[in-house]
Homo-oligomer: A and B are copies of this chain.
Amino acid sequence: MTTHLNTAPPPANLNSSRRQKLSERIAGSLRQDFLSGQFSVGHKLPTESQLALSFGVSRTVIREAIAALVADGMLETRQGAGIFVIGLQRHQPLDGPILRQDRSSNISHALNVLEVRIALETESAALAAARRNPSQEAQIQENFFEFDRLLQLGKPTGQADFAFHRSIAEATNNPFYVEVLDALGERTIPCDVNSPHATEEVLSFAYQAGLQREHLAILNAISAGDAACARDAMRAHLSASQERYRERLRDRRTRYQSGVETT
């Protein structure tokens, strides 16, 4: 018996060697087949049983592979009909240098997203003030304090920030607000430490405490049921965020011009 001393915790060296699941291998194989143009949109794949047979695995594995590709937007399954190709040019799975590249030139994108958020969230804040039920009000407040707790602990707050805004969208009782906000997704989180454009300034206590002050104004307005006030507070918050972004752009330019490099 081989004995490894590894009582190591699971801290998960993420993308390192891990035996690939069969369904992942097969999903990758199929994905490559699609991308190489062997199948065109609308084509029907062989049945699950046939695929299972030809790959030499069980139908379970095939189904999980198909499920992954469906989640990617490449395939569509129709009960009783079959499996069909519906799209090919989707984003890469995960391991993207593409993602990182995308981020680096992304501050201008973030500014654009913020602009859309101003439109969306000023209204959602107003609606939330008018319509929130007690449970939703409590949820908003909870997320507010969660942000605060993480802030005191010096932990990353980006996710809590998003949760706060999201719970306000939920309090509109209009599911589309939530869905649009979700769709905008991570691009809406400006201040996560995990973000590639996190700087010391973003992480500073003072910076985040400022955010929290703005959040508090929003929370108070919604709790009070003051729609107009909530609208203004949200607009002030997001406008301030926009301004913070612009400042960061200026900072970067300044640092570049003065030749300060900390590599």
Contact = CB atoms under 8 A, between A and B. Distances in A.
Interface of A: 3, 5-10, 12, 14, 18-19, 21, 23, 27, 32, 35-37, 39-46, 50, 60, 63-64, 67-73, 76-79, 81-82, 84, 86, 88-94, 96, 98-99, 109, 112-113, 115-116, 118-120, 122-124, 127, 143, 146, 158-160, 162-163, 166-167, 170, 172, 174-180, 182-187, 189, 192, 194
Contact of A123 (B69, B79, B118): B118
Contacts of A182: 32, 35, 92, 96, 98
Contact of A68 (B68, B78, B91): B68
List the 7 closest pairs (A to B, CB-CB), nearest first. A37-B163, A89-B186, A119-B123, A68-B71, A71-B71, A94-B183, A64-B67
Given A71-B93, A78-B10, A92-B185, A116 B174 contact: yes
Given A70-B68, A71-B68, A73-B93, A44 B175 contact: no
Contacts of A90: 93, 185-186
A63 B39 CA distance: 27
A202 B182 CA distance: 33
A69 B185 CA distance: 15
Given A88-B159, A115-B177, 18 more contacts: A5-B44, A5-B45, A6-B44, A8-B44, A12-B42, A36-B163, A37-B143, A37-B162, A69-B71, A71-B72, A89-B162, A89-B194, A91-B93, A94-B180, A96-B182, A99-B183, A115-B172, A116-B120
B180 A116 contact: yes
B7 A42 contact: yes
Contacts of A178: 32
Contacts of A82: 8, 10
The winner among A43, A94, A124 for most chain B CB atoms within 10 A is A94
B120 A10 contact: no
Contacts of A160: 37
For this chain, the copies found in one complex come to 2
Nearest to A9: B42
17 contacts: A5-B39, A10-B78, A12-B86, A35-B163, A36-B170, A37-B159, A37-B166, A68-B71, A69-B71, A71-B71, A92-B183, A94-B183, A96-B183, A99-B179, A116-B180, A119-B123, A180-B184
A131 to B, nearest CB: 11
Nearest to A84: B10
B179 A180 contact: no
